[in-house]
Every structure is written in structure tokens, then in C-alpha cells.
Structure 1
């Protein structure tokens, strides 16, 4: 299977501007000032020192401090703006319920993308060809984004995807799968990323047991996963089967999952890693946010399954309409679970798109377009949060029953200014009201 290369995969990313450490600059200035005092009797040396002082002053106190500070931005100017940025970043701004989310989180998005590249350069060292285990064909735009992001990374590392399967005994030409691995010496099996390494959806984990048993001599790697086990018997079964493979690496996408791997899987001889979710391989996509016409004030991207928490439940029915926020403001909204939205252009009668990469790309781009079509997003989907962060759209995040939303947020995105964590829909609406009030006052 040829790796699909869309031009937008490789568009230049905005430079990750690093703010100057002003404390070091101030110490330099103090030292120079001291030298001037010592040499004040020598006018010609004093003049030189004064010139040097001005030179260092210009270097260490730029007139336009960068706003790329831990994903936050401020509205003040000059040095006070930089100082505010430092203060806000240490507060983990996304828990602040006294201020609304703002636009953008570019520095953190780019940092996570770069970390993924760095870590997988090591994880996939000497691997040139891979078979993917775990392709999932659904309308869940988050699953599609995961698939596309995996291909972005593999293509960037010069690795070719050959065959794809999810099960050994169905929907898979396992002989073709095995033949591709045998044909290429520098090959491996890579488990797709996502949130299905748990004992609730007991489907993908057992399928990996069979895959590992069938290919004991092939290296097995994984893209980032959420790990969640509550049943000792299934955990022990997983440890036994995973531990039997001699060359297995597992990657967690949040700290609690990584800690669980370290405690239970690492003693089995399994290499464990922690990286951001693979969807951050899209990098900063503020261009989609800026170029997408706005259709609604608020998008409510809400789960419609057993993972919905009590706090995320709402009497607001799916569809479009208007609602009144606690501030009294009336806004337009759309409420939907994106797995219910058919992706256009790939299932036309007589012209069905068959390519896995092409289908996933179309779905992922529909997901980004949906999120970018509103001024404010409320979501309890992890990739609703991740993709909205990639876009830089202001939003609020509620947790799911598997805790993967806040586990991820607490590991990687809690300093993003574009998100606020809320406990229930009442708080979400209150935060939306605050957002629109602030936006109006700034207009």
C-alpha cells in the first residue's frame, strides 16, 4: 500500500519562537553597570562600557516579547506582558475558571509534534517497512486523524506501510501480511494508536495476542495508547500474552497510562515509553481555523455512548438552534457526535474511494472543518480536545468514564490557554457566556 502524501501534510510549520530568559539579561546588565562604576574615573573606558551596556540591553529586552509562552497569550504590552506570561504558565491556566479560554496554543502543539518525531526516530530505528495492526474503519473523525497522523510520521521517517490488518482470522489476508514482512529484512509490526488497550472494549487486545503468537520473530512496536484495566483476570491474561513476545515495545500517551505500564508491563521485559498522542503530528493548523467560515457560535461535540459521564449529560437535543447562556446572551449552536456525520465524496455510488489513507484523510479533514466552523467548542471527546487544540479554537473539556480526557490533558495540555476544564455542562455554558462577554468587550 503506497503512503498517501497530501501537500498539506508537509506545509511549513510556524517557527516555535522561544522567549528570551530576561532574568539572565538582567544579571548581565547588573554586572556591566558595576563595571561602569569601577571604571568611572576612566572616561574613555566608561564610554566603551556604556556602549556595551546599550548593546546588551537591546539583546536581552526585545521590544516585542513573544506570546508563544506555554500556549498562553496576554493582552498587555512590553516587559509586563512577558512577566504575565511567566506567571500564567506556572498556574496551569486551563484550570482557571475565572477567565475564559483564548485563541491558540501553538508552542505546545509544535513541542508535542517535535517530541513525537524525536521519540519515534529512536523507537523505529533501523526499521524501513511496517505492517500496521489495528486499522479501524468508522466515521469517528478522531480515529481517522490517528491513522493519518501515523502515516505523516512514518512518511517523515522514510518508512513504508505495506499491509494492514486488525484480526488474524477475519478481514485480513494474513498470508499476504506475513509475506510482506518476510520479504523485507528491516520490517516490523506497529500497533495503531488510540484508546482501546483496556478491558471494556475486549476486542483489539485479544486480537493482538494472536498476532504476537503468530509473529514471535518480528519486532512489535506501538503508537501511543491509553491504558485502562480494572479486571485482574484480563490484566493477567494480557501480561502473559504480551510478555511472551521477545521484542515488544508499548507506548503510553498519558502519565497514568505510562505509570501503569511501568508497574505491570515493564517487569515482563516490555519496553515502555511515554509520548503525546500521535494526532499532534498534524502540527499547528491555525490556518484551518482562520480559513473556515463560522456557522455557529458554539459547537457541542458530545459522546453518545456508555462513556458519557453524568456531568457531561445534557437535556439539549442533537441538532442546530439557539440557546440562552447564563449571561443572558442568545447564541447559535450545533450539537452532534461526529461519528454520526457521513463523510462526503468517498462513498459515492460507482465512485467509492477504496484507499485507506484517502478515506481517513477525508474524514479527518471533515473533523477539523467541523471544529473550526464554530467560535467556541464544548467537548467530552479526547480527539475533540486534541484536534481543537491543534486548531487553536477556544474550548472547554469534560472528562469521560475512562478518565482518558483529563489523564491526557493533565500530562500534556494543561498549560494551553485555549482550553478550560469544567465539571459539567452547567459550568461549560457559564464559561461560554464568559468567553462571548470578553470577546464583545474587546471588539
Structure 2
């Protein structure tokens, strides 16, 4: 559970986010939400849940959703002749995750008659050519707004996306409400969530179960979901895979999309994200504190009221968000290295 101070801080962040969304969306009451997450990444799922919660809170109806494989411009137009198109937030704006960037630029090109709002992202372009292409896609669209969730991304945008209309907005995962019965256990273990992909830079994945000597440590990442929840997750993924093949066929043959198939796919994507979050909350259950180098492993711990020590990723995505607002939670500490993190853990465990 959050302390009174942390609860007040969270509500203040949420109030500012709701106001930003109202101003960004304008006076329409319907939106499409595109690039919905469809994978085993709890961070994207938390962002999705926060987006849905914020839109509900401000009275906006989501008329259409799709993941990358299920998107068709004509389906957006059929479901929502008028409204605003929202693009899912996160950390994939740039050339680090090129598939999502290509999808984003395709939507900008295919839906020029809709206002398009990119929900809060961190950005990183390592290639000037990629940045110029993204800037051109944004300037070609008559009404596009990019929300960015940290000051360093805003600074990068000024250099790499000079034509873009940008505005600050806190990460949308902060709109998700934690279960009332979730929280830390004083006698629990230390949980380490460590990434091993191309954003990893902390060295946290190399620590083992004996990192703290005799102290209990679990080292993992967002892994597969087991039991019946895993069965439900895999069924939902199979539904979205089938829908993707149907979409490909409809594009190839120029035939209408089956509305029932899209409805099932929307439901399946929602189930995938719900199961991701449920499994993450269960993973945290019983933990005294967590040590992480994933942004949303840190955010989840803050929302659950669990003490957490965070190390950065390869391009300071985490540190920039921490400096801007999540570092203000009383449960959050920043570590500059694995050794620093261990010292902080030992200090917290001994108190």
C-alpha cells in the first residue's frame, strides 16, 4: 500500500496527466488506440492499463483498438468516422525498435485526416537518417502531437525531430491502480528483475542467487506465465495470430475484414495484457524489496508500495524518468552500479 505522501504525489501526477490528455484530444469523445501491446512485456501492459484507465476517467470512449498485425486504415475509418487516433506509449519511438517506428510512420501516412496523438514515449535515434525520416512523417501530417515522458527525450526531439509538435506528459502506467491487498512483506526475499536484451547495460542479469550471501534472492526477468493463466495467455496469442493471417489475406485479396474476427482479437489482446499484469503482481508478492533495471519493474514497485532500487538502461531511459517524477516516491532509490545497489540493499534489509 502507498503511504499518504506517495498517494498524494501519485494523484497529483494523475491530475496533470488527465489535463494534458484532455487538451491533446480536444472536444471529441471517441478515439482509436493503435499499436496495442501483444507480447510478454509487463511494462507495455502496465502502460496499456494506464491508458485505458485515464481515458475512462476523462470520459473518452475507445471505439477501436489493434496491435501491429491487426491494423488496417479502413477498419479505423469504419469503426470511427470522426475522432482522434492515439498511438500506444512506451519506449520504442526511434530506431532501437524499428518495427514499431515503421508502424507509427505508416499510420501517419495513411490517416492524414485524423488528429494523431502519440501517447508518452521515450525517444532515441542512433541514425540521423532514421530521425530525418520520422521528422518528415510528422511534418507531412497536418495534425500530429508527440507526448514525451522525460526531459532528455524532449531535448533529443528538439535536435532530431525539429518539425514535431511535442509536449511533456508523465508515463501512462501511473494511471493503473494496484490491487488493494498487494504490498511488501517485511520477512520476504529480495527480487531482482534484470533485462538481457539490447537495452541492458547495468550488469544486473549477471548476479546470482548468492548475491547477498545467505540472504534469499530471486533473479529473473519477465518470463513465461505458468499454470492455467499461461494456457489462457497462449490461447489469446493464438487468436491474435489467426487474426493477423486473416488481415494479411484481406489485404492480399481486397476483401472486407470479418468484424467478429477483429472483435475476438481485441478481446484477446486485452486478455494478454491482463494476464501479464496479474502474473507480475504475483511475482512481486512476498518480496521485501526489488532491484531492477527495467523502467516498469520500478514503476510497478512504486505503485505497490514496495521498496525498490533501480539501475539504468543503455540510454538513461530510466534515470530520466526517475529524475523527473518517479524518484519522488519514498520507496524508490537509484543505484549507479551493481555494487552500489548491493550496498543499498544491505542497508535496507538491516533496518
Please report the TM-score for the alignment, with normalisation by the length of structure 2: 0.83
Q: Find the aligned partners of 1:349 and 1:308 in 2 and give their Cα distance.
A: 26
Partner of 1:282: 176
Q: Find the aligned partners of 1:124 and 1:349 in 2 and give their Cα distance.
A: 32
Matched, 1:336 2:216: no
Partner of 2:131: 235
Q: Find the aligned partners of 1:343 and 1:214 in 2 and give their Cα distance.
A: 41
Instruction: Quote the RMSD (CA, aligned, Å).
Output: 2.6
Unaligned runs of 5+ in 1: 1-12, 15-66, 70-104, 439-443
User: 2:76 is matched with which residue: 150, 154, 177?
Assistant: 177
Matched, 1:119 2:20: yes
User: 1:297 is matched with which residue: 181, 184, 189?
Assistant: 189
Secondary structure in structure 1 of the residue aligned to 2:113 = coil
Alignment of 1:281-430 (within 5 A): 281-283=175-177, 285=178, 287-290=180-183, 296-316=188-208, 323=210, 325=212, 330-342=214-226, 344-345=228-229, 347-348=231-232, 355=267, 356-430=269-343
CA drift of 1:215 comes to 1.0
Distance 1:166 1:130, change over 3 A: same
User: 2:156 is matched with which residue: 252, 260, 263?
Assistant: 260
Per-residue Cα deviation, 1:215-254 (whole angstroms, up to 9, x for no partner): 1111101211001112111111111111100000100001
User: 1:434 is matched with which residue: 329, 347, 350?
Assistant: 347
Partner of 1:29: none
CA drift of 1:148 comes to 1.1
Per-residue Cα deviation, 1:254-285 (whole angstroms, up to 9, x for no partner): 111122234443x42x33111110011125x4
Per-residue Cα deviation, 1:116-147 (whole angstroms, up to 9, x for no partner): 11211211221211111211211111111111
Q: Find the aligned partners of 1:350 and 1:147 in 2 and give their Cα distance.
A: 19
Please report the TM-score for the alignment, with normalisation by the length of structure 1: 0.67
CA drift of 1:351 comes to 7.2
Distance 1:156 1:415, change over 3 A: closer
Q: Find the aligned partners of 1:258 and 1:272 in 2 and give their Cα distance.
A: 7
Partner of 1:35: none
Contact 2:192-2:291 within 8 A present in 1 as well: yes
Q: Find the aligned partners of 1:126 and 1:346 in 2 and give their Cα distance.
A: 41
Q: Which protein has the larger Cα radius of gyration, Structure 1 or Structure 2?
A: 1
Partner of 2:95: 199
Distance 1:176 1:119, change over 3 A: same
Distance 1:288 1:426, change over 3 A: farther
Q: Find the aligned partners of 2:336 and 2:306 in 1 and give their Cα distance.
A: 20
Unaligned runs of 5+ in 2: 240-263
Distance 1:349 1:144, change over 3 A: closer
User: 2:167 is matched with which residue: 267, 270, 273?
Assistant: 273
Secondary structure in structure 2 of the residue aligned to 1:345 = helix
Alignment of 1:86-235 (within 5 A): 105-167=6-68, 170-182=69-81, 185=82, 187-235=83-131
Contact 1:148-1:357 within 8 A present in 2 as well: no
Q: More deviation in 242-251 or 369-378?
A: 369-378
Partner of 1:21: none
- May I ask how many residue pairs the two structures share in their alignment? 322
Q: More deviation in 129-138 or 336-345?
A: 336-345
Distance 1:255 1:372, change over 3 A: farther
Q: More deviation in 304-313 or 238-247?
A: 304-313
Per-residue Cα deviation, 1:35-71 (whole angstroms, up to 9, x for no partner): xxxxxxxxxxxxxxxxxxxxxxxxxxxxxxxx855xx
Secondary structure in structure 2 of the residue aligned to 1:203 = helix
